[in-house]
């Protein structure tokens, strides 16, 4: 993946503008900031609304991997010694931990579809 000359960020090729000289290796966000392309021409730019919608989809997909260690920590620190809820919570936690990878794989298609829906239609120029 190429690196932008101005902001030094690495993006996929689709996130760069097409051109020579000052327009070489410039990401679309820097190009709009520096006036190299107008915002209307930058169809491949993720504006703040689209960016946050994409982040929300991403967070929904991966947040379960934050919750599971949190719940295990909660169980170890608080509920483990409480009878009988410690055991019940352990069983639920085990089921959740074992089902999460299956659920993650199962929802992969939905995630790809959501991200594709939130990706602007943009044809990369020839040779770029």
Binding interface with Zn ion (CB under 5 A): 4, 6-7, 27, 30
Angle at 120 between CA 116 and CA 126, to 5 degrees: 105
Under a CB-based contact definition with an 8 Å cutoff, are residues 45 and 61 in contact? no
Compute the least distance from the CB of residue 18 to Zn ion, in Å.
15
The residue among 3 and 110 lying less far from Zn ion, judged by its C-beta, is 3
Count of all residues that appear for the chain in the document: 128
Nearest-approach distance from CB 126 to Zn ion, in angstroms:
23
Cα atoms found within 13 Å of the Cα of residue 4, Cβ hemisphere only: 18
- Is 16 buried (19+), middle (13-18) or exposed (0-12) by CB count in 10 A? buried
User: Shortest approach of Zn ion to residue 58 CB, angstroms?
Assistant: 21
Nearer to Zn ion, 4 or 114 (CB): 4
C-beta separation of 21 from 10 below 8 A = no
Nearer to Zn ion by Cβ, of 21 and 109: the residue is 21
**Cβ-contact 75, 95 below 8 angstroms:** no
The residue (of 43 and 92) whose beta carbon lies closer to Zn ion is: 43
Quote the least distance from Cβ 57 to Zn ion, whole Å: 23
């Amino acid at each position: 993946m190429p690196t932008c000359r101005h902001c030094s960020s690495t993006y996929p090729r689709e996130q760069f503008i097409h051109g020579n000289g000052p327009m070489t290796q410039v990401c679309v966000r820097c190009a709009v900031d520096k006036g190299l392309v107008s915002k209307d021409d930058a169809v491949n730019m993720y504006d703040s609304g689209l960016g946050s919608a994409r982040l929300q989809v991403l967070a929904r997909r991966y947040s379960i991997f934050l919750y599971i260690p949190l719940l295990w920590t909660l169980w170890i620190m608080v509920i483990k010694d409480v009878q009988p809820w410690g055991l019940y919570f352990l069983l639920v936690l085990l089921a959740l931990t074992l089902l999460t990878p299956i659920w993650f794989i199962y929802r992969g298609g939905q995630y790809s579809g959501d991200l594709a829906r939130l990706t602007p239609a943009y044809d990369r120029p020839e040779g770029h």
